[in-house]
């Protein structure tokens, strides 16, 4: 008899397809057996697209009542609170894709339900499993740069228009803003590397490029570019077609954060950059580190921890090698960890409390940038929730 964890998919979009590639491993630990999506055609066609049989359900309630052990919740962000609470109440192990929700209040509702139901809640912050991030964490923890004091992340979202301005992400009613959808990743990593959460933030941001693009539909052009075409052919950003009818989120944002432990960090995000990667710099009392590249072969971590005049090559260069499984191997690693957590619980690298603070900081920063850069306090998590997940 197989001991595979039986998994149900809640939502069958792009991210669900990626996770299914590493989650479905019949006879080797897990099987994706059931799916629910509000698009019934998508749910019915899931098995054919995935290449193995799944049972499609017409309602979330029907899926949660099926013979499954765990769910992967990969629905649009504004639905996370409803879907995760229902799954926790059903007694299932829950993999909740980041961002946790679109407000700190919604995150607290999810955390409270997990605590009350003694639920197994796991957050899909897969960047904690990216080889380059783990290498940076190991270097910092080794003391190679002394005590970390300041950090920044520059996020060049080269395909931002393709991925985030063609669908619900571009509408703040459903995403709140792209500091949640994309920024939650990096804010969480900045918190993790610096060993503390944001307590106060200030931000500036604008809708600079995609807001005044008049070509929102294919009727106005003879040969519209589509997402399944070569993305490199759509340049400059104004060449994009078929944008979402509503575009009211910022395509460029800059955030300054003061953390609880007195350190500082900044996050800069641009969705019309020609390149697509993240650059982290951490400066400590005895040196600094910086990554060049992130999930591709050739990525390195540069370490400077000797005194220099002007620019000189790094004192130490640490090569980082991506692994199979998507996002440099992070998708496979995070699914391995979740499946072990679904079976028996135990310590994990991701954290529901940390995921909540990433959203809370993103929310405060979004409020700041929409009010002229006014600094905002980040509301702390409830102590009873912190204690539950610490245990």
354 in any annotated domain = no
121 in any annotated domain = no
375 in any annotated domain = no
- What does the pLDDT read at residue 225? 43
Question: pLDDT (tens digit, 9 = 90+) per residue, 307-364?
Answer: 999 999 999 999 999 988 889 999 999 999 999 999 988 889 999 999 999 999 999 9
322 in any annotated domain = yes
25 in any annotated domain = no
Cβ-Cβ contacts under 8 Å for 18 (sequence gap 6 or more): 326, 331
Could you list the residue range(s) of the whole structural domain that residue 290 is in?
A: 128-331
Cβ-Cβ contacts under 8 Å for 291 (sequence gap 6 or more): 132, 136, 278, 279, 280, 299, 300, 301, 302, 320
Our count of domains for the chain comes to 1
Banded model confidence at residue 159, pLDDT cuts 50, 70, 90: confident
114 in any annotated domain = no
Q: Is the pLDDT of residue 214 over 80?
A: no
As a whole number of angstroms, the distance between CA 58 and CA 7 comes to 17
Cβ-Cβ contacts under 8 Å for 87 (sequence gap 6 or more): 10, 64, 71, 73, 94
Query: Which range is most confident: 34-48, 63-77, 236-250?
Result: 63-77
Cα–Cα nearest to 74, from 21, 116, 112: 21
91 in any annotated domain = no
- What does the pLDDT read at residue 15? 86
Cβ-Cβ contacts under 8 Å for 205 (sequence gap 6 or more): 179, 250, 252, 253, 254, 366, 369, 370
Domain CATH for 198? 3.30.360.10
Question: pLDDT (tens digit, 9 = 90+) per residue, 367-377?
Answer: 999 999 999 99
- Cβ contact 266:277 at 8 Å: no
- What does the pLDDT read at residue 320? 97
As a whole number of angstroms, the distance between CA 110 and CA 85 comes to 6
44 in any annotated domain = no
Q: What is the average per-residue pLDDT within 271-280?
A: 95
Q: Exposed (0-12), middle (13-18) or buried (19+): which is 374, by Cβ within 10 Å?
A: exposed
């Amino acid at each position: 008899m197989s001991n595979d964890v039986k998994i149900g998919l809640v939502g069958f979009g792009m991210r669900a397809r990626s996770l299914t590639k590493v989650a479905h491993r019949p006879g080797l630990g897990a099987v994706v057996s059931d799916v629910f999506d509000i698009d019934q055609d998508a749910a019915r066609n899931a098995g054919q697209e995935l290449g193995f049989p799944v049972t499609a359900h017409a309602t979330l309630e029907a899926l949660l009542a099926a013979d499954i052990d765990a769910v992967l919740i990969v629905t649009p962000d504004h639905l996370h609170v409803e879907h995760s609470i229902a799954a926790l109440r059903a007694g299932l192990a829950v993999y909740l894709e980041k961002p946790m929700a679109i407000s700190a209040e919604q995150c607290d509702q999810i955390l409270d339900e997990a605590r009350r139901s003694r639920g197994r809640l796991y957050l899909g912050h897969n960047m904690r499993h990216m080889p380059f991030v783990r290498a940076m964490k190991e270097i910092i923890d080794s003391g190679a740069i002394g005590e970390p004091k300041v950090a920044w992340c520059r996020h060049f979202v080269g395909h931002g228009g393709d991925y985030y301005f063609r669908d619900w992400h571009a509408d703040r009613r459903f995403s709140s803003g792209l500091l949640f959808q994309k920024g939650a990743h990096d804010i969480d990593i900045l918190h993790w590397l610096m060993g503390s959460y944001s307590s106060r933030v200030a931000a500036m941001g604008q809708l600079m490029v995609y807001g005044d693009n008049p070509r929102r539909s294919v009727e106005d052009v003879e040969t519209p570019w589509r997402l399944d075409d070569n993305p490199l052919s759509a340049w400059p950003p104004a060449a994009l077609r078929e944008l979402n009818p509503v575009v009211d989120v910022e395509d460029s944002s800059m955030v300054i954060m003061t953390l609880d432990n007195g350190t500082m960090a900044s996050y800069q995000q641009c969705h019309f950059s020609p390149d697509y990667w993240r650059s982290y710099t951490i400066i400590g009392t005895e040196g600094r580190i910086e990554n060049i590249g992130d999930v591709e072969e050739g990525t390195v971590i540069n370490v400077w921890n000797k005194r220099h005049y002007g620019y000189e090559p790094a004192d130490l260069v640490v090569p980082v090698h991506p692994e199979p499984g998507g996002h440099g191997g992070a998708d496979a690693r995070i699914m391995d960890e979740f499946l072990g957590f679904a079976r028996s619980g135990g310590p994990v690298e991701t954290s529901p409390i940390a995921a909540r603070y990433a959203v809370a900081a993103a929310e405060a920063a979004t409020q700041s940038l929409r009010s002229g850069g006014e600094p905002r306090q980040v509301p702390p998590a409830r102590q009873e929730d912190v204690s539950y997940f610490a245990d």
